[in-house]
Amino acid sequence: MPAAQTDRLLRLVLLSIAQFLVLTLVAMSLYPGGNDIDPSASRYSFTRNFFSTLGLTQAYGEPNTASAALFFLALLGAGIGLLLFFVVYPRFFTGQLSCRIWSLVGAGFGIAAAVAFIGVAFTPSNLFHAAHIRFVVWAFRLLPLAILCYTFAIIQHHLYPGRYAVIFAVFAALLMAYVWLISAGPGLDTPEGLVTQAVGQKIIVYSSLISIALQAGGARGLISKGFFDGRLSA
């Protein structure tokens, strides 16, 4: 894959992140209201509603058509963007064998995580609750494995800037903390537990967007400086 084509695909990754932010904000404004603790709430609560609530085809007693459609498009686009990122990112680690191995293993985990996120988009939790939860859990189990692999690949690469390994290492730590939160953290049956889980999800989603945006933007910058296929070409 030529450097110019890789650059265009990385631009699409950045656009997928931007569209997720915009569409989910609009979906929040259109959500009719309600959450597990307060079904009568009149609007979307940033601290008591999950992102997946936007995808409900039926909110708490009211149709949620507009918000659900926007959330579906937002998450589908973000999942495709994440998939594109892990398809093209190995192109930066072809020079050294150890880096190539780490990057390919990481790409495998990352692509599987992206497919799981796309699966979340296709399984509204009020219609396919069990499948929805499985996709969410596997997405957040696989993504930290991908990020850790690329952290090691960057550390071992003698040309790739080390600051990007730091970004991925911090992101991996946040992801692993979130995996613990959803598996062993407080439940959703108390107001405190609901807030903890909903806010934790917001933190990890926005951290994910920032991290991937920094990596995609950084990779585009390296292309402009002549770095590609694991080496400097200019």
Q: What is the pLDDT of residues 189-218, one digit of tens each?
A: 899 999 999 999 999 999 999 999 999 999
Share of the chain above pLDDT 70, in %: 99
Of 108 and 62, the one with more pLDDT: 108
pLDDT digits (tens, 9 = 90+) for 62-83: 899 999 999 999 999 999 999 9
Residue 118 has pLDDT above 60, yes or no: yes
Residue 232 has pLDDT above 90, yes or no: no
Of 108 and 1, the one with more pLDDT: 108
Task: Give the DSSP letter string of the chain.
Answer: --HHHHHHHHHHHHHHHHHHHHHHHHHHHH-----SS-TT-SS--TTT--GGGGG-SB-SSSB-HHHHHHHHHHHHHHHHHHHHHHHHGGGGS-SSHHHHHHHHHHHHHHHHHHHHHHHHHTS-TTTSHHHHHHHHHHHHHHHHHHHHHHHHHHHH-SSS-THHHHHHHHHHHHHHHHHHHHHHS--TTSHHHHHHHHHHHHHHHHHHHHHHHHHHHHHHHHHHTTEETTEE--
What's the number of domains the chain is made of? 1
Q: What is the mean pLDDT of residues 179-183?
A: 93
Residue 234 has pLDDT above 60, yes or no: no
Residue 2 has pLDDT above 90, yes or no: no
Q: What is the mean pLDDT of residues 46-65?
A: 93
pTM for this prediction = 0.94
**pLDDT at 233 (0 to 100):** 65
Of 189 and 55, the one with more pLDDT: 55
Range of the domain at 37: 3-232
Under the banding of pLDDT at 50, 70 and 90, the label for residue 182 is very high
Q: What is the mean pLDDT of residues 87-113?
A: 95
